[in-house]
Amino acid sequence: MRPELTALRTQLGVLRARIDAVAGDARAAAPDPLAALAGATRDLVAAVTRSYDRSLGGAPGVAHLMATVAAARQTIAEIRAAADLLGPRLAAATGPLARIRDRLAAGDPVARAEQVLATVRRALDQIDPLLATAGEIAERLANGEGSVGRLLSDPEFPEDTKELGKIIKRHPWRVLEKPAN
């Protein structure tokens, strides 16, 4: 048993003996309020002793409680030792993860992807008017509008082009300049 509990038990015994002595003296004298107080105090000490014996189980209960506290302290010491061993290992394992996290934060892949999408959208927005203009030009050519449209819709134009090609091959001076002879 712990020395503190033993000392408490001894002091309770001394207190009981004094109360009994005072109560005995009070009983010998005329009954008065002091005797009643002494009896109530004796009853209180008896109740404390019963509580000690019943609630804590007396000396064996206190010994069991002390063993439980000692086991808990041992478990806590083992957990601290494991945490002390785990700390450096955890730091070594998280070092590369921290570098990866820093790279991801520095590169911010989500922001980069959003930037690429915005660039693609701007490019598409610029292509749309060009496609509309090209479609309009193709429609005008198909309708025979403008100089080129009239040439493409002229049924004689392909034949005239062939004839011009033959002339350029055989007699280029007729188109460009006549040689001086």
Quick check: 67 and 1 in contact, CB under 8 A? Answer: no
Identify the pLDDT of residue 131. Answer: 83
In a domain, 163, yes or no: no
Taking residues 48-64, what's their average pLDDT? 71
In a domain, 90, yes or no: yes
In a domain, 120, yes or no: no
Number of CB atoms found within 10 A of residue 82's CB: 10
In a domain, 38, yes or no: yes
Place of tokens 């007699």: 171
The mean pLDDT value of the chain amounts to 76
Enclosing domain of residue 49? 3-102
In a domain, 31, yes or no: yes
In a domain, 154, yes or no: no
Identify the pLDDT of residue 107. Answer: 66
Query: Which one, of 70, 74, 13, lies nearest residue 45 by Cα?
Result: 13
More confident residue, 180 or 112: 112
In a domain, 171, yes or no: no
Dump pLDDT digits (tens) for 4-54.
777 777 887 787 777 777 666 555 554 566 666 677 777 777 777 777 677
Identify the pLDDT of residue 24. Answer: 64
Number of domains in the chain: 1
Contacts of 143 (CB under 8 A, 6+ apart): 149
In a domain, 137, yes or no: no
Taking residues 160-177, what's their average pLDDT? 77
